[in-house]
Amino acid sequence: MVYEEKTLKSDLFVRKPVDDVCRKINDNSSKQIILNGGRGTGKSTILYNLRNSSIGTDSPTFYTYFESATSIPREPNNLFNEEFLKHYYELKFSLKLLQNIKEKYPIIFVKYFLGINETARNLNMEMCDYINNRFYVNPRGSIDTYLAPGQMSYEILERLKSGLGIGSINVSIDRFDHINGSSAYVQNLLSEYFSMFDKTIITADDPSVSIENVREKGFDIITADYGGNIDIVRDIINRKIQEQTAYDQRKYFNLSLVTGEILERLIADSNGNISIMLKAATEAVDSYQWYAGKRDFGELLLLETQELVKQSDKMLSYSKNPPKFHL
């Protein structure tokens, strides 16, 4: 998720609304939090900011992300049994923890984690070879020792707590309801890791998730909703347009053309999807300048937004496994 890291460091980043959501997460007493708000509403950026702002505190938050599509099945089968899937996710989870430590605590990493990191890397190479070989007619190769959930990851966390002299570590899991084709099995498997942390934050795009159907399961919900705030959207859009036109006098654009009425329509048509709004604004400015200001900017912006929403909906319709929260 290099894009989110770049966003945090760019002039486009509007810090206050992201910090406000992070503050709500930190102040929430629940040990399990679902961050929702719809697609493109900045949830990943919030998690990255949450991680970066927690470095050096007594309760750091690690960021993790698991692939939506993998070469392994969504649940155990004849090729990959349950023992293997548990080994696969324990190893992947451990590697993600180690990557967080290497990036954010390099001195601690060198002092305490070089050996276990090498072990994890070797096990991962063995596992990748095993996966590739299982698809041949005559599968070959084997895994000598299967890891159980928590076997390596718990040791990593305990070493870090000891090295930093802290007693609390949190974790975030991005796009949780997308993992491995929205696998119910994998979601339940990863939920076994929640108890290892003081707080677990997961993001979800499943529109059916509501406080009524998750509270009894121990979750609270915090919504990334600043994409619906007209003042914040105006600030984000204006920054994007200024960045786009800053280095070319021929691309001067009068920001007063972005009226409150246009922004209200933009938010409604995009359903608060910041990614769509930013891309639509970029395309609309280019079109407006191509027409030499002879087309109404608001009309161009809304047309671009509607087209991007159509494209997004079309891509979603192709998905065999749309995001679904199973816990």
Q: pLDDT tens across 61-102, in order?
A: 999 999 887 788 999 998 899 999 999 999 999 999 999 999
**pLDDT surpassing 80 at residue 141:** no
Instruction: Give yes or no for a contact between 204 and 17, defined as CB atoms under 8 angstroms apart.
Output: no
Q: What is the pLDDT of residue 143?
A: 85
Q: What's the chain's average pLDDT?
A: 89
Question: What is this structure's pTM?
Answer: 0.89
Q: What is the pLDDT of residue 246?
A: 75
Q: pLDDT band at 7, cuts 50/70/90?
A: low
Q: What is the pLDDT of residue 231?
A: 92
| Of 3-17, 76-90, 227-241, 271-285, the least confident | 3-17
Q: What is the pLDDT of residue 10?
A: 63
Location of each CATH 3.40.50 domain in the chain: 2-224
Distance CA 325, CA 317 (A): 18
CATH architecture of 2-224: 3-Layer(aba) Sandwich (3.40)
Q: pLDDT band at 249, cuts 50/70/90?
A: low
